[in-house]
A and B are shown apart, each in its own frame.
Chain A
Amino acid sequence: MSERKGDSRDREGLHLNRRSFLTGTVGMAGMLAVSACDWQAFVQQHFTRMSPEQIKDTLQRLEADYKAKYGKNFVVGAEGPIEGTLYGYALDIQRCIGCRKCVHACVEENNLTRDPEIQYIRVLRFENGTMDLEESDIYYDADRVPQEGYYYIPVQCQHCENSRCEQACPIGATWKEPDGIVVVDYNWCIGCRYCLAACPYMARWFNWTDPVIPEDKLNTDTHYLGNRPRMRNVMEKCTFCIHRVRKGLYPACVEACPVGARKFGNLLDPNSEISWILKNKRVFRLKEDLNTQPKFYYFFST
Chain B
Amino acid sequence: MTENKRTGRNALFLAVVVTGAVAFFAWAGGLGAESAEPVPKALPGEGAEEFPAPFEPLPKTITPCRACHGPEKDFKINWTREEVLRVHTNIQLHHGGVRVWCLDCHSAKEREYLVPLSDGTPITFEHSYELCGKCHGTKYRDWRNGIHGKRIGYWNGPKTYHLCTHCHNPHRPLFRPIKPMPPPEKPRTPKTSDARH
> In the complex, A touching B, CB below 8 Å?
yes
Residues of chain A at the chain B interface (Cβ within 8 Å): 1, 9, 11, 82, 92, 97-101, 103-104, 115-119, 122, 138-147, 208-209, 245, 248-250, 254-255, 257-260, 263-266, 269, 271-273, 276-277, 280-281, 301-302
Q: Taking A116-B195, A116-B197, A208-B197 as contacts, is the C-beta distance between A255 and B152 under 8 angstroms? A: yes
B177 smallest CB distance to A (angstroms): 4
Q: B93 to nearest A CB, angstroms? A: 23
Q: Does B196 contact A249, Cβ atoms closer than 8 Å?
A: no
Question: Is B150 part of the contact surface with A, judged by Cβ < 8 Å?
Answer: yes
CB-defined contacts of B185 to chain A, threshold 8 Å: 116-117
11 A-B interface contacts by CB (under 8 A): A101-B181, A118-B197, A139-B184, A250-B152, A258-B178, A260-B148, A272-B155, A276-B145, A276-B147, A280-B145, A301-B147
Question: Min CB distance, A263 to chain B, in Å?
Answer: 6
**B142 lies within 8 A of chain A by Cβ:** yes
Q: How far is the CA of A108 from the CA of B79 in the complex (A)?
A: 54
B180 touches A122 (CB 8 A): no
**Chain B residues with CB under 8 A of A115:** 196
Contact in complex: B183, A140 (CB < 8 Å): yes
Closest 8 interchain pairs by CB? A260-B150, A144-B177, A116-B196, A100-B181, A273-B146, A248-B154, A260-B149, A145-B180
In the bound complex, what is the Cα–Cα distance between A250 and B146 (angstroms)? Answer: 13
**Separation in Å of the A280 CB from the closest CB of chain B?**
8
Residue pair A138, B155 in contact (C-beta under 8 Å): no
Residues from chain B with a CB closer than 8 A to the CB of A116 are: 185, 195-197
List the A side residues contacting B167 at CB < 8 Å.
259
Given contacts A104-B181, A142-B180, A145-B177, contact A265 B155 (CB under 8 A): yes
Chain B residues whose C-beta falls within 8 Å of the C-beta of A269 in the assembled complex: 156
A250 and B151 within 8 A (CB): yes
Do A250 and B180 contact each other (CB < 8 Å), given the known contacts A1-B194, A11-B194, A273-B145? no
Number of A-B residue pairs with CB-CB distance less than 8 Å in the complex they form: 112
Verify B184–A117 contact, CB threshold 8 A. Answer: yes
Interface contacts beyond A122-B184, A249-B153, A260-B148: sample of 10 additional A-B pairs, CB < 8 Å, sorted by A? A100-B182, A118-B197, A138-B183, A139-B184, A142-B180, A249-B47, A263-B146, A272-B155, A273-B146, A273-B147
> Is the pair A98, B180 in contact by a Cβ cutoff of 8 Å?
yes
Residues from chain B with Cβ under 8 Å of A255 in the complex = 49, 150, 152
Q: How large is the interface on B (under 10, 10 to 19, 20 to 34, 35 or more residues)?
A: 35 or more
Give which listed residue, B47, B150, B154, contacts A258 with CB less than 8 A. Answer: B150
Contact A248 B177 (CB under 8 A): no
Q: Which of B155-197 contact A (CB under 8 A)?
A: 155-157, 167, 175-186, 194-197
The distance from the CB of B189 to the nearest CB of chain A, in whole angstroms, is: 12
CB distance from B185 to the nearest CB of A (A): 4
Instruction: Given A258-B150, A302-B138, verify A119-B184 contact (CB < 8 Å).
Output: yes
Q: Which residues of A contact B183 (CB under 8 A)?
A: 100, 138-141
Closest chain A residue to B183 by CB distance? A139
Min CB distance, A234 to chain B, in Å? Answer: 16
Contact (Cβ within 8 A) A257 B150: yes
Determine if A264 and B155 form an interchain contact, defined as CB atoms under 8 angstroms apart: yes
Which one of A141, A208, A245, A301 lies within 8 Å of B182 (CB-CB)? Answer: A141
Residues of B with C-beta under 8 A to A272: 155
* Contact A248 to B155, CB < 8 A, known contacts A209-B196, A301-B148: yes
Residues of A close to B181: CB separation below 8 A: 99-101, 103-104
Question: A143 vs B183: C-alpha distance in the bound complex, in angstroms?
Answer: 12
